[in-house]
Amino acid sequence: DSLFEILIEDNGRGFDPTLPGIGRNGNGLGNMRRRIENLGGQISINSASGHGTRLRIVVKVRPARWPA
């Protein structure tokens, strides 16, 4: 197995990911987290108000097997 990693960073206004409701409602971060975890992957979000955001997604992938 190999790892597939996506890293997204910005220098925007950021947010506090520990606030109640962040990533738990709607189709945003909570939906992303559920989908990635269903694939056996992990997502981490590092952000702070006024300091941008860093989103890291890691998922294990298996090589494709084609019929002979």
The per-residue pLDDT for range 36-63, each reduced to its tens digit, is 999 999 999 899 888 999 999 999 998 8
Which class would CATH give 2-61? alpha beta
* pLDDT surpassing 80 at residue 10: yes
pTM for this entry: 0.74
Question: What are the tens digits of pLDDT across the range 14-27?
Answer: 888 777 666 555 55
Cβ atoms of 56 and 6 within 8 Å: the answer is yes
Where are the domains positioned within the chain?
Answer: 2-61
Cβ atoms of 60 and 68 within 8 Å: the answer is no
Backbone angles phi, psi at 56, to 5 degrees: -125, 125
pLDDT at 22: 60
* pLDDT surpassing 60 at residue 29: yes
Distance of CA 37 to the CA centre of its chain: 9
Direct distance between the N- and C-terminal alpha carbons of the chain, in angstroms, rounded to an integer: 21
State whether residue 9 is helix, strand or coil: strand
**Residue that the structure tokens 């790892």 belong to:** 3
